[in-house]
């Protein structure tokens, strides 16, 4: 479940000319806490005035769909600063991170990831870094796809059967076909062999 924002004074009392520092944390399970992430940022010298955190939210969730992150985007003002401990706090993957950084950059909001040093990701150097990271991520994804396809082709060439293992052995399939030929019902055989009716029907139709 999402954890509500924390701030050192009632929101929003920062003055017109005062640019605040926002922090954001996320953990995947309710057994975890984002407190260590907040302390990590403070230990690095950042004075976090407004802290938002999502608890029990998977890293596979897009940034815009994370409740407290969406609330942060609504509260943070143009020209202020967002600090996070790691890059994945800004999105589910490189594309999502790029979109988040681009959105914040359009509002002149500084985005600092402690993991990457004190580089503002919306600056020229930060954009270059993000582009490089995205290129590396894309290359890793392509390599993974290539390795998977190569493995599948090798398995096929070696005569290995792909996909989930069958729930019934070849001997059982022969028995099922014989019983079907004697008039046994699909439902009865499904119960007898502890498989689904669909499995029995597939065996019948593959004969």
Which residues are identified as catalytic? 28
Chain length of the chain? 207
**79, 108 contact by CB (below 8 A):** yes
**116, 82 contact by CB (below 8 A):** no
Rounded CA separation 71/82 (Å): 13
DSSP-derived secondary structure letter, 52 = E
> What CA dihedral angle connects 172, 173, 178 and 181, to 10 degrees?
140
Angle between helices 94-105 and 124-157 (to 10 degrees): 160
Rounded CA separation 69/75 (Å): 10
Tokens for 192?
């007898």
Cβ atoms within 10 Å of 8's Cβ, excluding its own:
11
Task: Name the region of 183 (left: φ>0; alpha: ψ -120 to 50; beta: rest).
Answer: left
56 phi, psi to nearest 5 deg = 75, 25
């Amino acid at each position: 479940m999402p954890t509500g924002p924390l701030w050192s004074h009632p929101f929003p009392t920062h003055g017109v000319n005062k640019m605040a520092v926002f922090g954001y944390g996320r953990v995947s399970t309710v057994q975890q806490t984002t407190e260590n992430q907040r302390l990590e940022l403070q230990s690095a010298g950042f004075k976090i005035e407004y802290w938002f955190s999502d608890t029990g939210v998977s890293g596979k969730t897009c940034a815009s769909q994370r409740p407290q992150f969406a609330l942060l985007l609504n509260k943070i003002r143009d020209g202020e600063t967002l600090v996070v401990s790691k890059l994945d706090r800004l999105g589910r993957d490189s594309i999502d991170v790029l979109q988040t950084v681009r959105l914040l950059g359009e509002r002149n909001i500084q985005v600092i990831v402690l993991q990457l040093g004190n580089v503002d990701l919306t600056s020229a150097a930060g954009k270059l870094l993000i582009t490089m990271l995205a290129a590396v991520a894309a290359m890793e994804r392509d390599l993974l796809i290539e390795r998977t396809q190569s493995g599948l082709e090798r398995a096929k060439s070696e005569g290995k059967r792909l996909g989930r293992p069958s729930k019934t052995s070849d001997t059982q399939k022969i028995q099922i076909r014989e019983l079907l030929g004697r008039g046994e019902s699909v439902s009865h055989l499904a119960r007898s062999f502890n498989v689904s009716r669909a499995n029995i029907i597939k065996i019948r139709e593959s004969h």
